[in-house]
Amino acid sequence: MLDSPPNEMKAYSSCCFPKQASKAEETSQAKPSSPPARPMRLSFPRAEPLKPAVSRVVLPNFLELLESQDSNPST
């Protein structure tokens, strides 16, 4: 084994021995010191309640439309 070329030794060591973590990998896997931030809750009510975008929707009276079409046979 000692007589083998350096490339074979490198291949053997990379497949058979665990790789040591670099300093950057160690710090990235460390647990954070503080818990993740939570969303804040507002403790006061809104100044004005939210208003709907459309205050009133006017729908056509379908019965009146049908009656007007029945009385007008021209269409």
Is the confidence at residue 63, as pLDDT, over 70? yes
Is the confidence at residue 1, as pLDDT, over 60? no
Instruction: Encode pLDDT of 22-48 as tens digits.
Output: 666 555 555 667 777 777 776 666 677
Helix runs in the chain, H state only = 6-16, 23-28, 62-71
pLDDT for 36? 73
Read off the pTM.
0.19
pLDDT for 70? 74
